[in-house]
Structures are given as structure tokens and as C-alpha cells.
Structure 1
Amino acid sequence: MRVCGVDLAAEPKNTGLALLHDDGTQIALESVVVGVVDDHVIETVQDVEYTGVDVPFGWPQPFAAFVEEHAKQTLPPPATTGPTWRRELALRTTDREVHRATGLTPLSVSANLIAYPAFRWAGIEARLRDQQIDVSRDGSGAVAEVYPAAALYRWGLPHTGYKGTQRAAIRQQIMTGLTQRFPTLDWNGYAALVVANDNALDAIIAGLVSHQIRRGQCEGPPLRYRETAQIEGWIWLPQRSDR
């Protein structure tokens, strides 16, 4: 089984991509690259069994309606513009469910800079769809939305404060924990890159989640949210770890 993990940034220079190969006895890092253009992402998704992508796949349905109605000047006056109303515009159903399950709140694709990578993914998704690749946003096709911080939390590993050039020691701790969690994982010479670059680490985490999805070891959208997930996207979480 060959799977892929993508840490999608707005610009290629900060985009990481990891290829993992499971031969039944070992999970080996086939390649890890930082500085990935759209064509590379598209070609890889077409070439592997499954891909986990760290980026929002869609926007909250209330936000999409809000933008359209506001543009047409047909927005019904809300009873209040308080926190509850704003939260429905800012957070997708999956964001709220991740918070309920882990205590972590994903960045708002409506109100945060994470929208820029999401714009890029929307373009990549369109190109993949044009190539007849199943890019269902609920994870039932060739791709799934993942969230490395939540995956680390579920695996009982450090899940905050590991980004940036000064946090190499924490990334080393995470690597050690991943080796314990996945004893057949072969870093294949990429350990130094992972310690040096958090985009590489997030790509590998995304790849490991995609591997676990294929093995039936992750939680996708509940039946009641399947229709919503097809529109907004859905973050897949590893099954709970004994913390």
C-alpha cells in the first residue's frame, strides 16, 4: 500500500509532501519533500492509493450562504450579531466536532489566514476532479482532510508548540513518540529533515493518518453528518489512544 500525506500551504515553498509505502512488514518513508507545486500534488494523488491533506476542504454552509446573500443585499437581519451567530459563520461542523472530541479548535477557514491554503486546495480539487479523481470531501474517495495536531493528541504525543525553527527539540520528541507508536516505521534517512522542518513532519503525520484510514483505524463523519461533510469537508481523526 502506498499512501501520501500533504501539508498544504498557500505557497509551494512551505508545502510538504510525504510518500509512505507499507509492504506488509514495514512502513517506509519513500520520499519527503518540502517545496511542492500543484502539479506534484496532483500527480502524486493520482499515483497512490490514498492521500491525507492538511487543509480545509470547504467552508461552513452558513458562511457560504451569508456571503452570497450579503453580496446580493438579501441577507435577512439576524436577531443578534453575537458570538453564537458569528461562530456558525466561522466554524464548520467538523471543526466543532473536533473541538468536542479533543479540546482543539481548528483554524477558521472563514476568518483566518488558513483560507489561503484552502483557496489553493479548491483549485487543486477542481483539477483532480477534471481528471476523474474522486475528491469527495467526506473522505470516501481518494483524499481525506486531516489535522496533524489532533492526530498527535489522539496518539498521546506533544501536539502544540512544535512549529518554527526554534522548536527542533519538540519535533525530535514527536519523532521518538511516532517511532514507538509505529514500531515498523522506517525514517529512511529523512529524520534530519523532519527535525529541521515542521512542514515535513506534518506531511508525514498526514501520511500516517491516511495509512490508518485505509486500515480502518480512524473516525470519519458520522452518518448524520455525511451530507454536510460532502460540502464542508471532514477532519478524520485516529481512534482514541490509551492516554
Structure 2
Amino acid sequence: MLTAGVDLAAEPKGTALAVIDWSGTAATVEVTLGVPDAAIARVAPDVDRLGIDCAFGWPDDFVAFVTRHAEGLRVDGGGAEGLAWRRRLSYRATDRVTRELTGRWPLSVATDRLGLTAMHCAALLDAIGEALGAPVDRAGGGTAVEVYPAATLRGWGFDTRGYKNDDGVREALLDRLLARAPWLDLGSTVRQLLVSSDDAFDAVIAALAARAHALGRTHPVPRGYRDQARREGWIALPVGRLEELAPQGARRGEPG
């Protein structure tokens, strides 16, 4: 099995791609920084899952609100709902479920700084769809799946405070991760890259989340949300333990 992870930025300069090969007794990792969409699309047909750290779509209510406003029609002002109404426009169904599962709101694709990257993601999903020969299922029913590295790490029991902005914190977090996943073969060059670059680090976590999804170890889209998830996207949050992702050979002491 091969899985890939993308830490997407608004521009290729800040985008990182990680590919993990799970076929042996160790999971070997390759990471590339400054990755253009064409390179990501080329990888897509060769991997079992491709985890992308970015919202795959916008909230249905937000799209309807903007569309009505653009057409000069009266918009729903929310009446007395206030903050609840604004949150309904700001957050997708998957964001609300993620809040219930993790206790934290993801960034809003409609109102936070994630918007520019989501515009990039929409174009990337088109390129991936062309490479795969079919449109991407934003609900995660195909190769590409939306992931959330920080929530993934917290779900596996790691403290993520400060890891995005501090090399020392990131190195300590990496040490804790490798202590629980000794089968993750980074090599000295990739290890140093993960310490120096939060983009590279998140790309690897995205590839691990993609592995969890491929093994059926993520929360499924709840019944009744499937159609909405195909439009808005759906975050694949892992269930179970990081250790359960180990290559077959590492678990059984035989070739994977």
C-alpha cells in the first residue's frame, strides 16, 4: 500500500507532499516541498489514499447566502439568531461534527484565512479528478480524502500546542510520535525536514491519516449527511490508535 499526504497552501511554494510506502516491515517516507498541482495529480493514480489538509468545499448555507446576494435577492439575515446564524453560514456539517468529536472548531473556510487555500484546493481537486478519470468524491469515497492533521494528532493522544510555530516543540512531538510508531522510517534527512518545516510535518501526518482511512479506521460520514458531504467535503478523523497503522510486516514479523 502507498498513501500520500498534502499540506496545501495558497501557492505551490508552501505546499508539501509526503508519500509513505507500507509494503515492507517499515513504512518508508519521502517528502517534497514546493509542490505544484501537476505533481500531486501525477501521484494520485499510484496511491491507495491521498489525504489533503484543506477544506474540500464551502458550507451549503454560505453558498446559498452569497448566491442570493449576488443575484440581488433578499438574504436571510438570521433574525434574532445572531451568532448561531453566523456560525450556520461559517461552518460546514463536518466542522460541526468535528467540534462535537474534538471539542474544537476547525478554521472556517467561509470566514477565516483558509479561504485562499480552499480556492487552490478546488482547482487541485479538478486536476486530481482528471488524473483519476472521475470527479473527486468530496465525501471521501474515493482516492482523495480531506484530513485535519492537528485533530488527527490530538485524536491519537498527542499534545499539539505550539508545534506549528516552534521547531523545538515539533522535534519533541516527533520523538513522541516515533516512540509509538517505531516502524515509521524517516531517515535522517526527512526527520530534519520535519523538524524544520511544519508543512512537511503536516504532510506526513496527512499521509498517516490517509492510511487510517484506507484501513477503515476513521469516523464514517453519518447517515443523512452523505449528499451534503459530497458538496461541502468531509474531514476523515481517525478512530483507534496510531499503533494500529503499522505495516503488516511490523505487526506480524513477516514481509508486508
Scaled to the shorter chain, the TM-score interval is: over 0.9
Secondary structure of 1:213 counterpart: helix
Secondary structure of 1:219 counterpart: coil
Structure 1 position 34, deviation (Å):
1.2
Distance in 1 (alpha carbons) for counterparts of 2:130 and 2:20: 26
C-alpha contact (below 8 Å) 1:149/1:160 kept by paired residues: no
The match for 1:158 is 159
Distance in 2 (alpha carbons) for counterparts of 1:162 and 1:178: 13
Structure 1 position 81, deviation (Å):
6.1
The match for 1:113 is 113
The match for 1:63 is 62
Structure 1 position 220, deviation (Å):
2.8
Q: How does 1:158-177 map to 2 (within 5 A)?
A: 158-164=159-165, 167-177=166-176
Structure 1 position 171, deviation (Å):
0.8
C-alpha contact (below 8 Å) 2:51/2:147 kept by paired residues: yes
Secondary structure of 1:224 counterpart: coil
C-alpha contact (below 8 Å) 2:38/2:127 kept by paired residues: no
The match for 1:139 is 140
The match for 2:74 is 75
Distance in 1 (alpha carbons) for counterparts of 2:118 and 2:233: 11
- Closer, same or farther in 2 for the Cα pair 1:82/1:16, shift >3 Å? same
Distance in 1 (alpha carbons) for counterparts of 2:51 and 2:152: 12
1:16-56 deviation per Cα after TM superposition (whole angstroms, max 9, x unaligned)? 11000001522111x10111111111111122121000000
Give the root-mean-square deviation of aligned CA atoms: 1.6
Structure 1 position 97, deviation (Å):
0.8
The match for 2:128 is 128
Matched, 1:87 2:87: yes
> Which shows bigger deviation, 173-182 or 9-18?
173-182
1:41-81 deviation per Cα after TM superposition (whole angstroms, max 9, x unaligned)? 11111221210000000000000000000111213443236
C-alpha contact (below 8 Å) 1:135/1:143 kept by paired residues: yes
Structure 2 gaps of 5+ residues are 243-256
The match for 1:39 is 38
* Equivalenced residues, count: 239
Q: How does 1:201-220 map to 2 (within 5 A)?
A: 201-220=201-220
Structure 1 gaps of 5+ residues are none
Q: How does 1:160-199 map to 2 (within 5 A)?
A: 160-164=161-165, 167-189=166-188, 190-199=190-199
Structure 1 runs, 4 residues or longer, greater than 3 Å off:
none
C-alpha contact (below 8 Å) 2:217/2:240 kept by paired residues: no
Distance in 2 (alpha carbons) for counterparts of 1:154 and 1:147: 10
Structure 1 position 134, deviation (Å):
4.6
The match for 2:250 is none
Secondary structure of 2:51 counterpart: strand
Structure 1 position 179, deviation (Å):
1.2
